[in-house]
Structure 1
Amino acid sequence: MLPYPVCALALLLVGCSTQGPAPVLRGATQVAPLTSSELAQSDLNRMATLGMRDNLDSLYRLLDKLYRRNPSEWRKTGSASREAAVQRVRNAIENRTPWPELQGQRDIAALSLALSPEFRGDRVAAFVYASADMLITAHDGKTTFYLVDGLDAQHIYNAARNIESAVWLLATRRSAAGQPLLLADEMSERERNLSFEREFGKIVGRLDLLSGVLTEKYRRAVITYVQNLAGASFLQFLPVR
């Protein structure tokens, strides 16, 4: 019979050998460097700013993915490469420069035009630009938010529903030739690609969260006001002589 210390060591070694593989690292949360402008932001302002940044990044990823699936679209622009076409659309969004093929339309009017079967321009660029313009419009035309800014919860909520409608139209509408307006998600016997749906879902989720927080903000303000009124009479000092 083995001595007790030897048995304990053997059990420890067996336990170690039966453990599963080390967890796979899939990145880590990133902390942005602190800037002086953040001193003029509330927690809600910061949340809205980060949400807008992430939503635009999602649209840029979708822009590149849609161009990969529909290379004929970026070639309509005369760009030298897909990367150049992506950068061109991105610059127009960030500089709030009107997209020529949308004929001066902005917001939901631009989105409707980009998803119409009759549209003949670069549909990928028009669709992503119009989606971004609609999101920025819903955020009062801003992408960064400070204490002096206010956001309408209903507008943010409506933007989320607009994204859902746009994704459904993108998946169901057909051209005059019976082809999808743009190739996106694919489900077949050989491939199952739902990455587009997941990316759009992230945008909708962020918008719904912000809308809910905005609504709760005003609700809590009313509750706090009532609590202060109700508690005022109980929190007064009383005479002791």
Structure 2
Amino acid sequence: MLLAAGMGACATRQLPDGRRETTFDPSQLAKGDIDRVVEMHRAEVVASLRRLTDKLYRRNPREWRKGSQPSLEAAVVLVFDLPAARQALGGRREREAALLAFREDYAGDRVLALMGGLMDMVDGAFEHKESFYLLDSLDAQKLYNCARNVEVAAWKLNTARDAGGEPLLHANVDGPVRNLSFEREVGRVVGLLDTLSRIVADKSGRSVTRVTQTLASAVFLPVKF
């Protein structure tokens, strides 16, 4: 068992001269297969949220300018710098932050509010960690609730409008051929979170309470319990 664990903690790479070099990472000894799956799922979820943020800013360039950001790229960086994003949102987090994006009277950066809120939810669902080890645990219910919140956010994006009937935020591109890349990315995030929720539930032996909401009255579910 020790030999197998030691082999799992080794990484091999090929050098330019053709030789192979094996390095040892002690931290890998404290990781199980599930921990690696969790880390990969988290990284993929965050990558998708980053792509969604970039898409939203490109469709709504006025939003990143509201925050006096020097560029769209700088605005995206701010969204994923959670301490700075929370400060920019007046200390609002998770559901409270995301809801700002759909208030007609909100004068701030709606993309920052929505995506910063969603990223905060994801961070909470993953217990504010990026790396996971054998003694770490996740809550399947938090992951499930987070997936539902992404769905709610997508629905609100498609339906929230100002008094003049204009979308508060433009997402999918309408035209003769509708661009659904945004919806596909949202579906990917939801799928990753739901899959991980099932894995964690099976591992812990705890069931997930499934919530049924009508889209017309859907609300963001709690992620921090």
Tell me the TM-score range normalised by the shorter chain. 0.7 to 0.9
Report the equivalent of 2:17: none
The structure-2 alpha-carbon separation of the partners of 1:69 and 1:98, relative to structure 1 and needing over 3 Å to count, comes to closer
Q: Of Structure 1 and Structure 2, which has the larger fraction of its residues in helix?
A: 1
- Could you tell me which runs of 5 or more consecutive residues in structure 2 were left unpaired when the two chains were aligned: 1-10, 14-23, 207-225
TM-score normalised by structure 1 residue count:
0.71
Matches within 5 A, 1:44-193: 44-90=34-80, 92-93=81-82, 96-189=83-176, 191-193=177-179
Q: Quick check: 1:195 aligned with 2:181? A: yes
Residue deviations 1:104-135 (CA, integer Å, cap 9, x gap): 11122222223322221111112111100011
The structure-2 alpha-carbon separation of the partners of 1:32 and 1:201, relative to structure 1 and needing over 3 Å to count, comes to farther
Cα distance, 1:32 vs structure 2: 11
State the distance in 2 between where 1:164 and 1:182 align. Answer: 16
Query: Among 204, 214, 219, which residue is 1:218 paired with?
Result: 204
State the distance in 2 between where 1:44 and 1:74 align. Answer: 38
Residue deviations 1:26-65 (CA, integer Å, cap 9, x gap): xxxxx99884423222111111111111111111111111
Give me the identity figure in percent. Answer: 45
State the distance in 2 between where 1:148 and 1:119 align. Answer: 43
Letter of the 1:217 counterpart = K
Letter of the 2:75 counterpart = A
State the distance in 1 between where 2:161 and 2:122 align. Answer: 25
- Could you tell me which runs of 5 or more consecutive residues in structure 1 were left unpaired when the two chains were aligned: 1-30, 221-241
The structure-2 alpha-carbon separation of the partners of 1:99 and 1:218, relative to structure 1 and needing over 3 Å to count, comes to closer
Cα distance, 1:193 vs structure 2: 0.4
Bigger Rg, structure 1 or 2:
1
The structure-2 alpha-carbon separation of the partners of 1:55 and 1:153, relative to structure 1 and needing over 3 Å to count, comes to same
